[in-house]
Amino acid sequence: GAVVSQHPSRVICKSGTSVKIECRSLDFQATTMFWYRQFPKQSLMLMATSNEGSKATYEQGVEKDKFLINHASLTLSTLTVTSAHPEDSSFYICSARTPFTGVEIYEQYFGPGTRLTVT
Amino acid sequence: TQLLEQSPQFLSIQEGENLTVYCNSSSVFSSLQWYRQEPGEGPVLLVTVVTGGEVKKLKRLTFQFGDARKDSSLHITAAQPGDTGLYLCAGGSDMRFGAGTRLTVKP
């Protein structure tokens, strides 16, 4: 399957600082990427949909000024957690959607996730 | 918003047993995806089902898409400890996930 990378895999930051997480599709161009958040033993919660060259669409309850998303190219989307607080500590996962082929509907491949700990 | 409900949420079985997990919705989906996730990792795509009534097999895993494309099931035959993980279904253009089924297979 397609490969999606995330960097960093783990990050610890102090409260009040900002953290940037990168998501890259390595072997295909992704016009759409998604950012999820996952709490322990729970499913993935969609935070926002990122479309290349346009503003991200945020889910209800997700603060767009706190979670800045930039999808500057067809292979890279970034999530910046601004003014991080301990409650932002979580597992953040990105995914990239393959282009529509007209045969199989979209498929989505996930990055390995980023464990953010805010102290 | 198209919602997906998965059942059961938790399942603990002995090695060698068979099991089925379900993914249901009141909405019609153009496709559904099944993923497996292990702790600390991202979900890994297992299969995409597209056609109503479709059945796909992946070794001991059998995936079925309902005729009306509102539901799907995953059947595992002779489960092994290596099958342990969180099984997730997802669908819709915005790729929302069900709550997942956490499977534990005991040796």
CA atoms of A119 and B105, how far apart (whole Å): 36
Close Cβ partners of A9 (under 8 Å, ≥ 6 residues apart): A112, A113, A114, A115
Q: Distance from A64 to chain B by nearest Cα, in Å?
A: 18
CB contact under 8 A, B35 and A110: yes
Could you tell me if B25 and B70 are in contact, meaning their C-beta atoms sit under 8 angstroms apart? yes
Look at residue B2 in the predicted model and tell me its pLDDT: 59
pLDDT tens-digit map of B49-79: 989 999 999 999 999 999 999 999 999 999 9
Given a contact cutoff of 8 angstroms between Cβ atoms, the answer to whether B33 and A104 are in contact is no
Instruction: Provide the residue-wise pLDDT of chain A in tens; the chain has 119 residues.
Output: 678 999 999 999 999 999 999 999 998 888 899 999 999 888 889 999 988 888 899 999 999 999 999 988 889 999 999 999 999 999 999 999 877 666 556 678 899 999 999 99
Cβ separation B43–A44 shorter than 8 A: yes
What's the distance, CA A85 to chain centroid?
Answer: 18
Bridge partners, B76 (sequence order): B19, B61
Contacts of A113 in chain B (CB under 8 A): 40-42
Q: What is the DSSP letter of A20?
A: E
- From the CA of B52, how many Å to the nearest CA of chain A? 13
Q: Which residues of B touch A115 (CB under 8 A)?
A: 40
